[in-house]
Structure 1
Amino acid sequence: MKRYPLIAEHGLVGDLQTAALISDEGVVDWFAAPRFDSPGVFSALLDHDRGGYFRLSVDGPDVTVKQLYYPDTAMLVTRFMSPDGVGELMDWMPPDRTGRPTDRHALMRVMRCTRGTVAFTLECRPRFGFGRSPHDLRLDGRTAAFRSAAMAGFLQSNVPLERDGPHDVRGRLELSEGQIAGASFTVDGPEAAPPPLPDVAEVEAALWDAVDFWQRWVRTARYRGRWPDMVHRSAITLKLLTYLPSGAPIAAPTLGLPEQVGGERNWDYRYTWVRDGSLAVRALLDLGFAEEAAAFTDWLTARVTERAAGPSGGRPLQIMYRVDGDPSLPEEVLAEFE
């Protein structure tokens, strides 16, 4: 497992309220919940030793990997090729359709063997609140419940699970050609109960439901030019970075990554920058996605109205806001611009 894989060696999945980054080794090394701008649950991208991660990989010195997306979707496929066989890992998050903020978000992971035999290794090491919030672990059959003061996480899998120290779990499962296994990691409030254990049919239905959601959305684009696959992929990425309950896009799903190694620009980009958001939404509008443009226009109109109605009416807009429009940003974020 690489300690710090390049950003280019990651894929992005999300549910339109938050997002996760997954390396080409099958490692979730970035996931903040319940919103884009929430504290990290898995943040090994920033600190490999203390940040936490969720790994599903095929190990071995002769294993090669390839990562791609299922066509016109946000479903990420990581393919492991070894002398003994070929395995695939599909990652996704069920997309939000309600537009209502929620604490519950699920990361779905399905493993399959397409040739020969492959052995998947599972490691789940959540670190709530960027590793500052300790948690308890309860392992009950196919469910591992991780509970901290502010959040609970539930790992459910048909990979046999065992404790790996007091706070983490691991497992290993060998698959033969045609066999399938799955794992899900669900976050929720600290007192929440684990979700019902899904069966294979339910997971498969959820997968194809998500495929249908994204492919239907892409088909509403009016772009008819060259390289449509690349254009659609860019549009999906912009959509993944938009907070559906408010219609506000964020600049990036991560924080603390320097624009230049050794430089000062390692800001938190998980907020809505008025300039960047306007450019992103203009790109979507040019492609025919009018609903997203209307939602952002409503969000921006509300910010202008709030300013005009305030005690010092007429002040200019802030350069950035929280995704729900809250103008109060963390002190460490504001300090970066003073």
Structure 2
Amino acid sequence: MRPDDAERTDDSRYPPIADHGLIGDLRTAALVGTDGTVSWFCCPRFDSPSVFGSLLDAERGGYWRISPDCRVAGTQQFYFPDTNVLITRFLTEEGMVEVHDFMPVLRERDPDHHQRLVRRVLGLRGSMRMRVTLAPRLDYGRDPHEVRRDRDGLCFVGRDTVLGVGATVDLDVDRNGDAHGEFVVSAGETELFVLEALESGQRANHHHAEDAEELFRRTVDFWRGWLARSTYRGRWREKVHRSALTLKLLTHEPSGAVIASPTASLPEDLGGERNWDYRYVWMRDAAFSLYALLRLGFTSEADAFMEWLTRRFRRPREGQAGPLRVMYSIDGDPELPERTLDHLEGYRGARPVRIGNDASDQLQLDIYGEIIDSVYLYNKYGTGISYDSWQDLIGVLDWLGEHWDQPDESIWEVRSGPRDHTFSRLMTWVAFERMIRMARQRGLPGPLDSWMRTRDRVYRQIMERGWSERRQAFVQNYDDDVLDSSLLLMPMVKFCSPTDPRFLSTLDAIREGLVVDSLVFRYDPEQAPDGLWGSEGTFSICSFWYVEALTRAGRLSEARVALEKTFTYANHLGLYAEQIGLTGEQLGNFPQAFTHLALISAAVNLDRAMG
């Protein structure tokens, strides 16, 4: 940490990343803190500019807070069972109040979906004075708004955004265009606030307290009905189902896309520059998500994503790095130019604040194996791939056959330049091996002899150059000695037996070199500089990969202890950010799909192995 940032990382204006819950409507999502503040909300989509963004700038980002106007003795936050309806409870000497936060989802594939963020305040005991402040800052705080009042409520009107606010209490507007209100709620009473996205010229809707009960009930019914389709009945049902509900929240239902995370620029290193925008579809993350959803029986989500995915199977344009890009927008746009928002100070001073992501232009050859493996699994457990998609995949594999043997940036998206990454070669092997399997299982046409020659060439190359005699382990790059936890996936993708002596030796080396308690670093940046300043925490997905590797190696007791320990690093709701810091704090964008899908896979496989 830079000395001048030391104080800012402890800034009390910024609650810990872990002190938040997630709500959403399968179009976008919001983070709600344990203090009753909506501190991150982009509207109308995940990748739209923020309406509330105090998570990235406490002064200029905007927020919506509902909290007691007195000293709070304690707070509790939890999800209504088997749903994504979030409840924040405030306890004071005067009484007890709950705030119910949710975004109504009334039925799947709803073409008439009406986007609303509902906040319902319920008095449980005594009588408590509450305060509400609604301070939107449109377009990341760059678009000044005006406020219009009519008989049904308020409208916040910006250049491209119109938000209506209906409430059962009176709201005053100050000269900054922020709305404020004070009210008393007693036991048995309910007050309601609804923020809704409006079209230009629309008026805010008037809402009654009984409206909230109906919206609450129908939203609860939706989530419980969806979760009831899960086929998982194992030991860690609550953990697995919370991860499934989180993955569903990160699904853009109209398109079928699955985003990596709903947030942007939450730091991997407090006070540092490792701040990225994750509100896009990483091909790698989405492919693993498809696997996790299929394992739990959610085939309709797999169908929707496969439809989205196959539209990306096209031959590359002139000058394009390959037929597939690392990431896309929700609509499938591969152009995601990275920009900095210099007017925002960043979470606890972590700058720059970035939107967009230049990693979209990188060459990451591992994505081809991950995508083709997901197609293979979908072909095996889902509806099955069409002939047209198969023909497109052959074109993708033709390109990979000509370009696989070159340096790239690989899974960790390093910004230190291309290297010969062992993991990328591993997933190249997967791409060819899975295409061969599909062709044989389905009788699909393809040049199998050529594919087998390439597959075997890649295999031998990994064994000869990806193996370090000195470390007695598979290593990050050809001809070096750097350990990399992505290689824990070797037996999971069927490259080698989980009891192969070389893999067991790699597993032991990673345990000695990259594992602290049950938490796993992705690699040692001091041994392998990644082109960025600062350090980072352990990678949560790698911790679950470690559990699965132990499971497959037959070390079930060790795997169970590691899994149970890793569970303790989740936040109070069972959610994980990308990383866990040295003192157990959540770091990076939150919550992260990649981590939750790895949790599902690790738990399901350990359950099965334990019988």
What TM-score does the superposition give when structure 2 sets the normalisation length? Answer: 0.53
Matched, 1:140 2:147: no
Quote the Cα distance in structure 1 between the aligned partners of 2:107 and 2:12. 35
Q: Aligned in 2, Cα 1:98/1:217: closer, same or farther, shift over 3 Å? A: closer
Q: Which amino acid aligns with 1:27?
A: T
Show the counterpart of 2:315.
308
2:87 to 74, 77, 90: 77
Q: State the shift of 1:33 in Å.
A: 0.8
Return the match for 2:218 from 209, 213, 216: 209
User: Do the aligned partners of residues 15 and 197 (structure 1) sit closer, same or farther apart at CA in structure 2, a change above 3 Å counting?
Assistant: same
Gap change, CA 1:102 and 1:313, over 3 Å in 2: farther
| 1:259 pairs with 2:247 | no
Q: 3-state DSSP class of the match of 1:237?
A: helix
Which of the residues 91, 115, 129 maps onto 1:119? 129
Question: Is residue 152 from structure 1 mapped to residue 162 from structure 2 by the alignment?
Answer: yes
Q: Distance in 1 between matches of 2:320 and 2:270?
A: 41
Matched, 1:272 2:281: yes
Q: CA deviation at 1:330?
A: 2.8
Q: Deviations over 1:4-42 (max 9, x none)?
A: 111110010000000000000110010001110000000
Could you give the per-residue CA deviations for residues 22-75 of structure 1, whole angstroms, max 9, x where no partner exists? 000110010001110000000000001001001111132343111000000010
Distance of 1:142 and 1:44 partners within structure 2: 28
Aligned counterparts of 2:108 and 2:208: Cα–Cα separation in 1: 24
Asked if the contact 2:329/2:336 (under 8 Å) is kept, the reply is yes
Mark the CA change 1:7 to 1:102 in structure 2 (over 3 Å): closer, same or farther. farther
The one-letter code of the counterpart of 1:116 is: G
Counterpart AA for 1:10: H
- What is the RMSD of the two structures over their aligned residues, measured on CA atoms? 2.2
**Structure 2: distance between partners of 1:68 and 1:262:** 30
Q: Tell me what 1:186 maps to.
A: 196
Once residues 98 and 195 of structure 1 are traced to their aligned partners in structure 2, the CA distance between those partners, rounded to angstroms, is 25
* Corresponding residue of 1:7: 17
AA in 2 matched with 1:330:
P
CA distance in 2, matches of 1:145, 1:195: 6
2:175 counterpart of 1:165: yes
1:49 matches 2:56:
no
List per-residue Cα deviations over 1:224-258 (Å, max 9, x = no partner): 10121221111000000011011111111010111
- Take 2:290 and 2:334, find their aligned partners in 1: how far apart are those partners? 20
**Unaligned 5+ runs, structure 2:** 1-10, 340-355, 363-414, 416-611
Question: Percent same amino acid among aligned pairs?
Answer: 43
Classify the secondary structure of the residue corresponding to 1:130. helix
1:179-217: per-residue Cα shift (whole Å, max 9, x none)?
A: 11110111223x131243122232211110000000000
Q: Which amino acid aligns with 2:89?
A: R
What letter matches 1:160 in structure 2? D
Aligned residue in 2 for 1:17: 27
Task: Give SS of 1:38's match.
Answer: coil
TM-score by length of 1: 0.93
Amino acid of the structure 1 residue aligned with 2:302:
A
> Judging changes above 3 Å, is the alpha-carbon distance between structure 1 residues 324 and 96 closer, same or farther for their aligned structure 2 residues?
farther
Task: Verify the 8 A CA contact 1:247 1:292 in the aligned structure 2.
Answer: yes
Q: Which amino acid aligns with 1:262?
A: G
CA distance in 1, matches of 2:28, 2:201: 19
| 2:313 is equivalent to residue 291 of structure 1 | no
C-alpha separation in 2, matches of 1:7 and 1:117: 31
State how 1:24-103 maps to structure 2 within 5 Å: 24-95=34-105, 97=107, 99=109
Deviations 1:102-142 (CA, angstroms, capped at 9, x unpaired): 89521001001111111221000001000100110123355
1:244 to 241, 246, 253: 253
Partner in structure 1 of residue 531 of structure 2: none
- For residues 301 and 229 of structure 2, the distance between their equivalents in structure 1, rounded to whole angstroms, comes to 12
Letter of the aligned partner of 2:55 in structure 1?
L
Instruction: Name 2:525's counterpart in structure 1.
Output: none
> Is the CA contact (8 Å cut-off) linking 1:135 and 1:146 kept in structure 2?
yes
Match of 2:18, SS state, is helix
The equivalent of 2:451 in structure 1 is: none
Compare 179-188 and 259-268 and name the one that shifted more.
259-268
> What CA distance in whole angstroms lies between the structure 1 residues aligned with 2:145 and 2:195?
15
User: Relative to structure 1, is the Cα distance of residues 247 and 47 closer, same or farther in structure 2, using a 3 angstrom cutoff?
Assistant: same
Secondary structure of 1:74's match?
coil
Which has the larger strand fraction?
Answer: 1
Tell me how many residue pairs correspond in the alignment: 335
Decide which structure has the larger Cα Rg and report it.
2
Distance in 1, matches of 2:106 and 2:319, equals 37
Mapped to 2, the partners of 1:170 and 1:139 lie a distance apart of 14
Query: Does the C-alpha gap of structure 1 residues 63 and 232 become closer, same or farther in structure 2, counting only changes over 3 Å?
Result: same
Q: Following the alignment from structure 1 to structure 2, what is the Cα–Cα distance between the partners of residues 16 and 223?
A: 22
Q: Distance in 1 between matches of 2:338 and 2:176?
A: 34
Secondary structure at 1:283 match in 2? helix
Distance between the aligned counterparts of 1:163 and 1:195, measured in 2? 16
Instruction: Spell out, residue by residue over 1:89-113, the C-alpha distance to the aligned partner (whole angstroms, 9 max, x if none).
Output: 0000012646478895210010011
Comparing 69-78 and 286-295, the one that deviates more: 286-295
| 1:328 aligned counterpart, secondary structure | coil
Match of 1:105 among 107, 115, 119: 115
The answer on whether the counterparts of 1:142 and 1:158 sit within 8 Å (CA) in structure 2 is: no
Counterpart residue identity of residue 69, structure 2: D
> Greater share of helix residues, 1 or 2?
2
Contact preservation (8 Å) 2:155, 2:204? no
Provide the rounded CA distance (Å) in 2 between the counterparts of 1:303 and 1:104: 29
Tell me whether 55-64 or 69-78 shows the greater mean CA deviation: 55-64
Instruction: Verify the 8 A CA contact 2:106 2:218 in the aligned structure 1.
Output: no
